[in-house]
Homo-oligomer: A and B are copies of this chain.
């Protein structure tokens, strides 16, 4: 059992909430697919493979619960779907997303480097940054090479 699964149990217990099969299944799938930016519907399809009788509303309710417990966060790629990612511990400051405008692929970077900027924001604006979300739009490596080969 991972550290994160312990987190789930602990946080539920703290609130007097129950660890159901549905919640466990959804959490495990979020863990297993954590780099895929799953939408609710995509997650629902995955859960049904393991627990066919689940209802879509349960998936929505569970994701909202996990958000409130601070276990996951929402990401938005403007495609009309809410997507989710586990809040891993090491990742106090999260990774950034690279969104290719050409092929639509979404990659990640571990680099952070926003500390300087955040210090400056505190100094100039008095705003204390606790977290950030960064999306880069551009052309991915594959598309750049394709563009070049076209001439």
Whether, in the assembled complex, A18 has its beta carbon less than 8 Å from a beta carbon of chain B, the answer is no
Identical copies of this chain, number: 2
Question: Hey, which chain B residues are within 8 Å of A127, CB to CB?
Answer: 98, 100, 107, 136, 138-141
Flag if A130 contacts B138 (CB, 8 Å). Answer: yes
Known: A100-B127, A126-B140, A127-B136. 13 other contacts (CB 8 A): A76-B78, A101-B130, A107-B127, A111-B121, A113-B116, A113-B120, A118-B136, A128-B144, A129-B137, A129-B138, A130-B138, A131-B136, A131-B138
Using a CB–CB cutoff of 8 Å, the interface residues on chain A facing chain B are: 74, 76, 78, 98, 100-101, 107, 109, 111, 113-114, 116-118, 120-121, 124-141, 144
**22 contacting pairs across A/B (C-beta < 8 A):** A98-B121, A98-B125, A98-B129, A100-B127, A109-B121, A111-B121, A113-B116, A113-B117, A113-B120, A114-B117, A118-B136, A121-B136, A126-B144, A128-B144, A129-B136, A129-B137, A129-B138, A131-B136, A131-B137, A132-B134, A133-B135, A134-B134
